[in-house]
Amino acid sequence: MGASGAQAARAETVIERAARTGAITVGARADLSPYSFRNDRGELVGYGVDVAQLVAAEVSRYLGRPVRAEFEPVGDPDALFRQVSNGEIALSCGAQFTWEREMFVDFSIPFSLSGIRILTRAQGLSGTAESLAGKRIAVVPGSLGERAMRDLRPQAIRVAVPGLKDGLAALGSARVDGVAGDSILLAGAARSAGSQGLTLVPEDPLVRYAVGCMMPENNSTFRNLVNLAIAQMIQGYVIDDPASTATVNRWLGPGGVLELPPELIKAYFQTVLLNHEQINVPTTR
């Protein structure tokens, strides 16, 4: 979309555009397991993809007409951020919250919690400053992982790689001792690659942050609907609603990409809901 298209996108709210076109444009990376990635059949799937579909359903109910999530693959995370910021893309789910980004886009309530850790197979590399002294750690330039290593673990030697997959390849060939990045994305990338014998350190992440959806600023009705869709899903998980439980567990819970204990997921979801009104979700939906 050119400059004139971006200006038109900003002049029209997301809800107005959805009412006119019957679609919400969703920007998605195709290599960020478990949030958005291509499966063996080439289909775009993931936790963020499922959340975007729930948002589209909520907007459909609000407008009283069908609205579909129209996915647009975007490979460059910086380009994705710019397109959301200028209104070319209405939604991106699986985004890491930072206060810097909040200056230019709006964020939903979170549907996941993550942090910066190091994926390694090295014995004795625990993630402490002492264990990382002189170790070669792969980082993606400009990422939160690079920032955390630079600011919190300067004893390590940072090795720039284009992406997490490249970092995993470097780890597999022993060119680096570890890969620093988002712990959920690292776990998803390792599982997708079939890597064995890897562990995430330290036990407590170097940095923690919420993960949710980002959208253009000044779209309060749309932001409310996005929050409602997420709140219904996480409240449903807390009360053991089958549909919500299946959605979350497919990616985070037992049998999913991360296989986190349901009690841990529920505890986090409850902390999110404490700051908002409880959503009554029928268990039969």
**Model pLDDT for residues 189-209, shown as the tens digit of each residue:** 887 777 788 999 998 899 988
In this prediction, residue 255 carries a pLDDT of 87
Bridge partner list, 180: 118
The parent domain of residue 144 ranges over: 115-207
Q: Do 184 and 213 share a domain, yes or no?
A: no
CA-closest candidate to residue 164, choices 279, 33, 276: 33
Q: Are strands 178-182 and 112-120 parallel, antiparallel or unpaired?
A: antiparallel
CA distance 222 to 220: 5
Q: Do 203 and 231 share a domain, yes or no?
A: no
In this prediction, residue 31 carries a pLDDT of 85
Rounded (5°) CA angle 279-280-285: 115
CA distance 186 to 184: 5
Q: What is the pLDDT of residues 142-158, one digit of tens each?
A: 888 999 999 999 999 99
CA distances, 79 to each of 106, 153, 177, 240, 260 (Å) = 16, 28, 30, 38, 31
In this prediction, residue 10 carries a pLDDT of 57
CA-closest candidate to residue 96, choices 137, 147, 160: 147
CA-closest candidate to residue 80, choices 90, 70, 65: 90
- Structural domain contains residue 76: yes
In this prediction, residue 285 carries a pLDDT of 42
For the chain, residues with pLDDT lower than 50 are 4, 284-285
Query: Which helix (DSSP H) or strand (DSSP E) does residue 247 occupy?
Result: helix 242-249
- DSSP one-letter code for 80: H
CA distance 54 to 92: 13
In this prediction, residue 276 carries a pLDDT of 61
- Structural domain contains residue 282: no
Q: Do 159 and 213 share a domain, yes or no?
A: no
CA-closest candidate to residue 207, choices 241, 183, 238, 240: 183
Q: Do 236 and 102 share a domain, yes or no?
A: yes
Q: Do 58 and 148 share a domain, yes or no?
A: no
Tokens 């197979």 belong to residue = 121
**Quick check: 167 and 179 in contact, CB under 8 A?**
yes
